[in-house]
Homo-oligomer: A and B are copies of this chain.
Amino acid sequence: MTAPILHSYFRSSTSFRLRIALNLKGIETDYQSHHLKLGEQHSDAYLRVNRQGLVPSLVLANGTVLTQSMAIIEYLDETIPEPSLLPKDQETRAKARAMAQMIACEIHPVNNLRVLEYLRSEFGAGDSQVASWFRHWVDTTFVPLEQMLAERETAHRFCLGETPGLADICLVAQVANNARFDVDMSAYPVISRINAACMELDAFKKAAPAAQPDAE
């Protein structure tokens, strides 16, 4: 059977999310890199795959193109149920998705490369203003996320239990991104502990930016 094609960029944190999920589900892919800073994601050939010109995309063996990391991870979890990336209990599932969306909606899009470039080109933002912007939106959501994780009735190894899932995937990819802008993680001991627990696992290690074929 043909392996699915993973359109990725080593440093893209949404690609990092999807790589973790693929590893947890045991899916091998054909890795195709698009260098975002060189604008390779805007090539005509790639725009025919992904109309948004964003990574990641996953092209299934039947040719179907899946886009948007969170949608693809939900698809993987529905089609390959074990190991599950969401808790079984419905209210706990909702909490897992909420924590994932806090990162996927409130932090990542506002700190995406193209947004930072717009700040530079349209508002003349320099490096320090861009870094302040990045850290501001991380802190705005990491403060309540840290509280929510600390307030859980049971101290879990991962965000919502003893196995990693969707929320952990988003957390780890964001923490990796934070390092590029010197976010002070000492304010987030629970997030840091969960990140470390995840990064002990092969599925996370093999998905890390530095472990990709296009890593610089």
Contacts and interface: CB of A to CB of B under 8 A. Distances in A.
A21 to B, nearest CB: 13
A71 B98 contact: yes
Interface string A56-84: 00001000101110111011001100000
A201 B68 CA distance: 29
A99 to B, nearest CB: 8
A70 B84 CA distance: 20
A210 interface: no
Contact of A109 (B78, B110, B125): B110
A81 to B, nearest CB: 12
A148 B94 contact: no
Interface residues of A, number: 49
A64 B78 contact: no
Counting every copy of the chain, the complex holds: 2
B115 A110 contact: yes
Contacts of A60: 91
Contact of A75 (B51, B74, B94, B106): B94
A72 B94 contact: yes
B102 A52 contact: yes
Interface string A114-153: 1100110011010001001100100011001101100000
B119 A97 contact: no
A93 B105 contact: no
Contacts of A95: 66, 71
A138 to B, nearest CB: 13
A101 interface: yes
29 contacts: A51-B144, A51-B147, A52-B102, A52-B106, A53-B144, A54-B106, A64-B91, A66-B91, A66-B94, A66-B95, A66-B98, A67-B98, A68-B105, A71-B95, A71-B98, A71-B101, A72-B94, A74-B93, A75-B91, A78-B90, A105-B108, A106-B109, A109-B109, A109-B110, A114-B140, A118-B136, A119-B123, A122-B132, A123-B123
